[in-house]
Structure 1
Amino acid sequence: MRRFNERAAALFGSDLIVRHGRIRAIDQPSDARLQGFIRAAVSGVSVRSEPVVITRKGYPCLIADVMPMTALGHDLFPGGDVLLYFTDLLNEPLLNEQLLSLTFKLTRAEARLASKLASGEGIRTASAELGISRETARTQLRAVFAKTGTRRQAELAALLSRLRKPSLH
């Protein structure tokens, strides 16, 4: 391991650590998978196509994956051949409301509601957090359904999940 950004640093602590310059998982089976994955990626022999699931306190909530560096990547991260990134399933950020607005022509209010619903919140919780009535939220949700071509919250969440970029921790 050479460098990591602030979001990656936030993952270190009780479940991930850096020991002797290497990222290690506290869970032993997860660490064995992670170390094998990193060795294969760094050696260039073959980068496995499936990511590594890291168990945290009994739950598979962290996913490690690797991306080969392109010429642009080498310019941004000199000295490396692969980029290891993590997806934290417990702390994924909300969808970018501006991206939602641009993609589906949603108003700011509709994009805020869609972002909350895509994160798994129900309409009651989302409306309370946004400071709007449930009726207003339902009206906005109907508009979101019409603009996205969806009919149910689960269908909307599945569609919007495709807009998520990997969390480059």
Structure 2
Amino acid sequence: MDKLIPATVQDGSARAQITDKKADVLLENALSALASGTRRGIVQSFPIKGADGKPSSVAHLLPVRGSAHDLFSRMNSILVVMPLPGPGAPPVKVLQALFDLTPSEARIASALADGRTIDAIGMDFGIARETVRSHLRSIFAKSGVSKQSSLVRLLLGVTLPRPGS
């Protein structure tokens, strides 16, 4: 986290704050949902824009539960920020882990990043166009974007570290 302070994460009066205002609102909402018990035990993930306006990181809010409360008795969650090193869409399993997507949602997100249309995805996967659109709405909610083009840009900005780097 030291490398992310103060450009990405800052120390606020009551909690850590993210310099990307949209991401900070998502963090605030996620913390409120955890505190109220409406999202108890659910990991929440969202993108953080960098200085150039492109996603630079993905934040994961991990709830503290079970025996972890023995170590973290005064916390209800832990914030983990994963930097995104460069262009290129990651494998489906990585998309699932980064954005808490279901396997179907991750396959659809990956297909969109590959440049396929909603109609083509429906035909390829043998599902109705409206089913693809329903999955897409869920993907938007989980990834923190609201447009298909923004989702594709986000996904193409996610890469895996190369061996030895």
TM-score bracket, shorter-length normalisation: 0.3 to 0.5
Compute the TM-score of the two structures, normalised by the length of structure 2.
0.45
Higher relative contact order (CA closer than 8 Å, sequence separation 6+): 2
Relative to the length of structure 1, the TM-score reads 0.44
User: Rg larger in 1 or in 2?
Assistant: 1
